[in-house]
């Protein structure tokens, strides 16, 4: 780490197992680390959260950072902006409230080739993959300045990459991987998911395709999601070190309990069980079907339901999956009009209407709530290019019109007690009773709200589940009296911290954070000629 000025000092951090010493230099930017991945969903978000939890438990002032995130799972921060949900989860691991500085650039996909750009928490236009390249120079200044301020405030900033640094076709405009590492003088650890297969080749290849300057920042590797005896990996890890000159800092085991706050859309299967449901308290299960929209947003809303014993929550993508469902949830969407068209084309729209006609409950959240109404108008083309005025499913007496500015809100007052709103659509007419004090719709078996995260409120969720079970005829279902969603999330963060402390060479990682990459790391050749920058 280069010395800017001042005398060197050490900051002791107490640990349950051994003292941790992180080197600091007065007047200098403090320690930081970038966690990159061999692929999307390799475990970057979880490893960053685990590192943050491990450091925070030792009294280190630590913060997360993701320069550029692409996700429709987002939250509203205390400072009134919007960031990726993974960074909110990582902030909690640090004992911090989410803030826009932890994720200065958020891309929210609204089509196959278009995304909304959110800069420092606020919408800043639509881009295509090609046009976004023209904005990266200005965004790089935002990203590096934001990170620099965090490093002045905190002892350590643990940064998360995006996708993979091996996407060398994007290197010239990269904001989150090696581009950030070079701009901010960061050491890099690369994590790979062994459950996908080929992890040693992925790790070797990630280093080998980089140019020498980028390779010099790669300090070592972490293996994620290993099942079995780690000793079986030893020959491969020894060979990887011989080939690259870099150590593997540890092997994280597969942990069945880790499933909350999944960041990457690839990690959510199209049709499958969410979470690890515990047996019911009563004699019956409550079966919940969550429609897996193509542009689903804040899919994590359903996770609070999946924490409840006796509640089996599944994603569904075709009508037959609703036949044995007790409750149907239509979640949020980043492309409400086009996802509504998909709902009709897939036959799911008719299945949802038939479910409600049979007297079984339907819950709509945000974009899903809007789809349940009579009409959706998007005259400005906010989400539907060229504008749109379409008929909804007609299950609620509701009309929605999209506005150019995005509505962002967190709870104020006592109801709802948890949650946040993120939407362009405004209710212009509603003939149904409110679901909450002054928001949402309650038409009996069909309910809707714009509030994300509302189901994380334990009291509200229990009351709602009792009602839904009665409406669905599941009289044997009993709501558990003591399920705490917040406690479950905290337990998973603690587990991530435990995994880091138990299975990684934390002393080596401390040295990397304090001193950066080792000088003279070998350059790995893959036979490619020329520059990839």
**Where do the structural domains in the chain lie, given as residue ranges?**
8-247+509-515, 268-486
**120 and 150 Cβ atoms separated by less than 8 Å:** no
Q: What is the pLDDT of residue 124?
A: 83
Distance CA 95, CA 194 (A): 30
Which of 386, 410, 389 has the alpha carbon at shortest distance from 399?
A: 389
pTM: 0.84
CATH code that applies to domain 268-486: 3.40.50.880
Catalytic residue, from 202, 423, 450, 452: name it. 452
Which of 285, 308, 298 has the alpha carbon at shortest distance from 330?
A: 298
User: Are domains 8-247+509-515 and 268-486 of this chain identical in fold?
Assistant: yes
Q: What is the pLDDT of residue 363?
A: 97
- Quick check: bond before 518 cis, omega within 30? no
Q: What is the pLDDT of residue 334?
A: 87
CA distances from 305 to 332, 362, 476, 483, 495 (A): 15, 14, 18, 10, 21
Q: Hey, what CATH class is 8-247+509-515 in?
A: alpha beta
CA dihedral 222→56→301→397, nearest 10 degrees, is: -140
3-state secondary structure of 81: coil
Q: Which helix (H) or strand (E) holds 149?
A: helix 136-153
Q: pLDDT truncated to tens, each residue of the chain (533 aa)?
A: 222 222 223 333 333 333 334 444 433 335 899 999 998 888 899 999 999 999 999 999 999 999 998 888 888 898 889 899 899 999 999 999 999 999 999 988 877 778 888 999 888 887 877 788 888 888 999 999 999 999 999 999 999 999 899 998 888 888 899 999 999 999 999 999 988 888 999 999 999 999 999 999 999 999 998 888 888 899 999 999 999 999 999 999 888 776 665 654 434 445 588 888 889 998 999 999 999 999 888 888 888 898 899 999 999 999 999 999 999 999 999 889 999 999 999 999 999 999 999 999 999 999 999 999 999 999 988 887 788 899 999 999 999 999 988 888 887 665 666 788 888 899 999 999 999 988 999 999 999 999 998 998 999 999 999 999 999 999 999 999 999 988 888 998 999 999 999 999 999 999 999 998 888 888 998 655 444 44
CA distances from 291 to 271, 307, 335, 370, 489 (A): 9, 18, 14, 14, 24
Q: What is the pLDDT of residue 271?
A: 58
Catalytic residue, from 366, 423, 450, 503: name it. 366
Distance CA 84, CA 495 (A): 22
Strand pairing category for 114-119 and 105-109: antiparallel
- Annotated active-site residue 94? The verdict is no
Q: What is the pLDDT of residue 386?
A: 81
Helical packing angle, 485-503 and 85-94, nearest 10°: 70
CA dihedral 480→293→393→451, nearest 10 degrees, is: 50
- Annotated active-site residue 452? The verdict is yes
């Amino acid at each position: 780490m280069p010395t800017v000025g001042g005398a060197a000092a050490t900051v002791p951090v107490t640990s349950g197992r051994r003292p941790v010493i992180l080197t600091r230099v007065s007047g200098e930017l403090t320690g930081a680390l970038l966690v990159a991945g061999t692929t999307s969903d390799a475990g970057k978000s979880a490893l960053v959260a685990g590192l943050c939890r491990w450091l925070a438990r030792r009294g280190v002032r630590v913060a997360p950072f993701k320069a550029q995130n692409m996700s429709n799972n987002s939250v509203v921060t205390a400072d009134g902006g919007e960031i990726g949900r993974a960074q909110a989860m990582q902030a909690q691991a640090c004992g911090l409230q989410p803030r826009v500085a932890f994720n200065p650039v958020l891309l929210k996909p609204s089509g196959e080739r278009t995304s909304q750009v959110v800069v420092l928490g606020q919408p800043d236009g639509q881009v295509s993959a090609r046009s976004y390249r023209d904005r990266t120079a200005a965004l790089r200044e935002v990203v590096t300045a934001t990170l620099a301020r965090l490093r002045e405030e905190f002892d350590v900033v643990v940064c998360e990459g995006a996708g993979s640094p091996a996407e060398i076709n994007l290197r010239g405009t990269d904001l989150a991987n090696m581009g950030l590492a070079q701009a901010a003088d960061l050491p890099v650890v690369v994590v790979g998911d062994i459950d996908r297969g080929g992890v040693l080749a992925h790790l070797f290849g990630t280093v080998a395709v980089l140019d020498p300057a980028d390779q010099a920042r790669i300090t070592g590797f972490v293996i994620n999601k290993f099942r079995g005896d780690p000793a079986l990996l030893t020959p491969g890890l020894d060979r990887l070190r011989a080939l690259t000159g870099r150590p593997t800092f540890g092997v994280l085991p597969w942990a069945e309990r880790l499933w909350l706050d999944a960041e990457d859309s690839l990690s959510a299967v199209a049709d499958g069980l969410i979470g690890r449901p515990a047996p019911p308290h009563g004699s019956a299960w409550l079966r919940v079907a969550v429609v897996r929209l193509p542009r689903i947003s804040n899919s994590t809303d359903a996770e609070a339901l999946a924490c409840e014993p006796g509640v089996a929550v599944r994603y569904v993508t075709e009508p037959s999956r609703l036949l044995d469902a007790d409750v149907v949830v239509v979640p949020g969407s980043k492309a409400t009009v086009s996802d509504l068209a998909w709902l009709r084309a897939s036959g799911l729209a008719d299945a949802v209407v038939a479910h409600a006609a049979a007297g079984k409950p339907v819950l709509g959240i945000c974009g899903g709530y809007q789809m349940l109404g009579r009409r959706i108008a998007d005259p400005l083309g906010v989400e539907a290019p060229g504008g749109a005025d379409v008929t909804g499913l007609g299950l609620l007496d509701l009309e929605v019109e999209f506005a150019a500015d995005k509505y962002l809100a967190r709870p104020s007052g006592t109801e709802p007690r948890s949650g946040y709103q993120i939407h362009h659509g405004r209710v212009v007419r509603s003939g149904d009773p409110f679901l909450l004090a002054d928001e949402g719709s309650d038409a009996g078996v069909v309910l809707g709200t714009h509030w994300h995260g509302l189901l994380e409120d334990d009291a509200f969720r229990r009351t709602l589940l009792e009602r839904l079970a009665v409406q669905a005829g599941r009289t044997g279902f009993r709501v558990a009296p003591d399920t705490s969603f917040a406690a479950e999330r905290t337990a998973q963060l603690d587990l991530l911290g435990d995994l880091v402390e138990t299975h990684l060479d934390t002393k080596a990682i401390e040295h990397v954070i304090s001193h950066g990459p080792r000088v003279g790391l070998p350059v790995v050749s893959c036979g490619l000629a020329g520059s990839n920058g």
